[in-house]
A and B are shown apart, each in its own frame.
Chain A
Amino acid sequence: MDHRKLSAALAGAYQRFEDQGRPGLGSHAALMGLVTVTEPARPARAVVFLRGTDPDALDRVRCQGLEMNQGSGQVRTGIIDFDAIETVTAEPALGQIVVSHRLRTLMDVAPGKVGVPAFVDGADLDGSGVVVGVVDTGIDPRHPAFQGRIERIWDQTLRGSGVPEGRYGVELSGNRLIESRDVHGHGTHVAGIAAGADASYPGIAPRARLVIVKTTLMDAHIADGVRYCFRLASDLGLPAVVNLSLGGHADPHDGTDPLSAILDAESGPGRIAVCAAGNEGNDAIHASARVPDGGQRSLACVATGPFEINGWYAGEDEMELSVAGPSGAATPYQPVIVAGSPVRRYELPDGAVQVTTPGPDPVNGDHQVVIVAEPADGAVPAPSRIWRIRFRGVGVTNGRVDAWVLSSRRQPAQFTGRYAEDAVKVGSPGCATDAITAAAYTTRTTWTDIDGQRQQVGFETDDISDFSSEGPRRDGHSKPDVAAPGAMIAASLSRDADFDRRWVIDTERVMQAGTSMASPFLAGVVALLLQQEPTLEPAKARQRLVAASRVPGGRAGNFDRKWGYGLLAVDRLARSGTEG
C-alpha cells in the first residue's frame, strides 16, 4: 500500500485500526471527521478530502468503499471505509487522502475572544424571558436553531391586511410561519447570531423569543417593523431588543432623520434598539470641506453610472451650488430657493443633472442640497469621469459642508481628492441617539467550506474590521458605540437562500462578514442584560457596554471614530453591573 497518499492523521488512525480494529479508532473520533466508529453493524468510516491533479480523472474514480461527493477541481470530499483504504490508495487518480478534522467554528471563537462564556456561565444567562426582534430580510422558520421560539413573523412583502403598525403584509404565527421565506439569507444569519440555539454555533441569547419582520427594506416600513416588535413584546409582557443590520446614507447623519427619531421615540426602559454602523470603511462615500465666505470649494466625485449627492451645511450659512461634468461644462450656480419648487434640471454634454436647493430643513434647521446625475452613455472616456460639486459661500459664518455619494453597488461612485474624508460614515439608523451602534471586529479570517476547500479573506485578525464605517456623527456625537465580532461569523443558513458555496460551511450554517454581524452579536448581549434587568434603559445599557469596552492600548471611555469606545469585553459586564 502507498502510505504516502495518506495524511499523517489518517495514516495514524489507519495503523491503529489495523493493529486494534475498530476500538483503536475511539480516541481519534473526537477530533477527526470519523463516522460510524461505534456502530458495529456498519463499517468504520471517515470523512475525507481527496486530492488529485487531474479533475477529469477524479470525476471517473469509482472505488468499492469510497463514496465521493459531487464537486469540481482538484480537491473533492467523500467518505471512505477503513477496510477499503488500501484499495483506494491504489487508485492512480488520487494523489492524497486527508481525513477531515472537526473545526472550531467562529461562533465558538468569537464569544470566547470577547468573554461571553465567563459572563453567561457566571450569571446563568441565555436570553430567557426576553424578545429579540429582527427587522431584516426574513428568517428560515424551519431552521432547527429557531424551533419553537418564533412568536410571529410580519412578512411585509406578502399581500395582505398587515398589522396595526401598517396595513400591508401578512402576520404569521404557528403553523403558518413557514409561509414566509428568507431567500436573501441575511436575516436568518443575523437571527442566528443573536439568538440561534445551536450546540456547535451558539447564538448569544439562545433561549430568547423571536419576533421577525421581513421588511421591504424601505425605511418607513422598517420603522413600522420596529414599532411592531416593541408592541408585541409589550403584549407579551417581556423586555425587547430590536436589531437593525441595515443602513443607508440619504439622511443628515445627525440622528434627526425620521427612522432614527422613531427609534429614539420607541426606545425606553426594557426597549432597546441595536444598529450596525455600516460597511463603508474602505469606501470614499463622504467628503467634507470648509467653504470661506465669498470663496469656493470643489468636491470631486468619480462616477461611472448614475449617482446622487446628499449634502448638508449649517442653517446660518448660505451657499450656491454648481455641478461640473467631466468635460468641464457646468450648471450655473444655483442659490437657495425658498419660493416654489427648489428643483432645477440641467442638460450637460456629460449627462442630465438635477439640483435641489431648498431653504433650511424644518426639522434640524440645516440646509440640505441634493444632486442627481445621470451620466450619458459614452459621453466621457473612462479615465476622466470626475464630476465636481462646487459650493460657493455667499453668506457664511460656519462654512462646513458634508456630502455623501449614493450609487448602485454595480456602478459605485466615490469621492476623490483632498476633501474625501474617512469619517462621518455612520448613517441612519446607526446614528440614532438612543440606539446602540456596533462597529465590527475581526476574529477569524479562514474556514473550510462545504466542499472541503480552505477559504480565506484578507482581513487582519484580532483587529477592527477595515470595512467598518467610521463616525462620529455630523454633529460630533460619538458613533459607533462599541465594537463586537463581525468577521468572519458562522451562523444559521436559510435553506431558501442561494449563497456561493465558498461561504457555506454545511447544510445549516454559512459564513458572513459585516457590521450586520456585529450588531446582532451586540443585540444578543443586550438581551442578556435585559434578562438580568428587564427595565434596563437604553442609556444605562450603553453606559454599561462602554464601560466594558476598550480601544487596544487605550483606557475605558476613550473614543475612536473607527472603534467607538473599543472592543466589548463581555466578561467585564458583570463588574460594570455591580459598579452601577
Chain B
Amino acid sequence: MDFQKLDPVLAAELSLDTADLSRQLPVFVHVTESLEPDEAALVARRFGLAEPVAGGGVLSATLTAQQVAELSEEPWVVKIRAARELRPLD
C-alpha cells in the first residue's frame, strides 16, 4: 500500500490494525493521463468503476478498503481521497 497516495483520512483508516478491509468507502481517485484506453477498460472492470479512467482526471467510486489499498499501488493512480460530507449553507 502506498500511503503517500492516500489522503489523511484514508491513511488513518487503513493504518489501523483493526481496519475492516471489506468496508465500503466512497472515494475520489485522481488518475494520470498515461493510461491507455485498453488498459483503462481492464482497470475499470477490476475495480468495478462506472466511469472511464482513460485520459486522466478525477473519478468517483465506492471501493472497499482492500481495493483502496490495491489501487494505491497502481502507477496510474495519483491520489485517492475519501469523500467528505458537505453541509447545506443556510
Contacts and interface: CB of A to CB of B under 8 A. Distances in A.
What is the size category of the interface that chain B forms with chain A?
20 to 34
Contact of B12 (A221, A251, A338, A343): A343
B88 A219 contact: no
Interface string B1-42: 001111111011011000000000011101000000000000
Given A342-B11, A363-B30, A261 B57 contact: yes
Interface stretch (A99-107, A354-362, A549-557): A354-362
A515 B89 CA distance: 6
Nearest to A184: B88
Contacts of A428: 86
A176 interface: no
Contact of A517 (B6, B83, B90): B90
Interface stretch (A27-35, A118-126, A159-167, A393-401): A159-167
Contact of B89 (A222, A278, A368): A278
A341 B86 contact: no
Contact of B11 (A343, A362, A514): A343
A245 B88 contact: yes
A513 B51 CA distance: 37
What is the size category of the interface that chain A forms with chain B?
35 or more
B60 A224 contact: yes
A362 B15 contact: no
A376 interface: no
Interface in A488-525: 512-517, 519
A193 B60 CA distance: 30
Contacts of B88: 136-137, 184, 186-187, 217, 245-246, 516
A265 B58 contact: yes
Contact of B3 (A358, A369, A370, A515): A358
Given A246-B88, A356-B11, A220 B27 contact: yes
A247 B87 contact: yes
B4 A358 contact: yes
Chain A interface main SS type? mixed
Nearest to B15: A341
Nearest to A344: B15
A223 interface: yes
B79 A168 contact: no
Contacts of B60: 166, 220-221, 223-224, 258, 262
Contacts of B84: 218-219, 248, 250-251
Q: Which of B11, B60, B62 has the most CB of A within 10 A?
A: B60
30 contacts: A165-B50, A165-B51, A186-B88, A218-B83, A218-B86, A219-B85, A220-B60, A223-B28, A223-B58, A246-B86, A246-B87, A246-B89, A247-B86, A248-B87, A259-B28, A261-B58, A265-B58, A341-B11, A342-B11, A343-B15, A356-B11, A358-B11, A362-B4, A362-B5, A362-B79, A363-B30, A370-B12, A372-B12, A428-B86, A517-B90
Given A219-B84, A341-B15, A368-B8, 9 more contacts: A186-B90, A217-B85, A217-B87, A218-B84, A219-B83, A246-B86, A258-B58, A342-B3, A361-B79
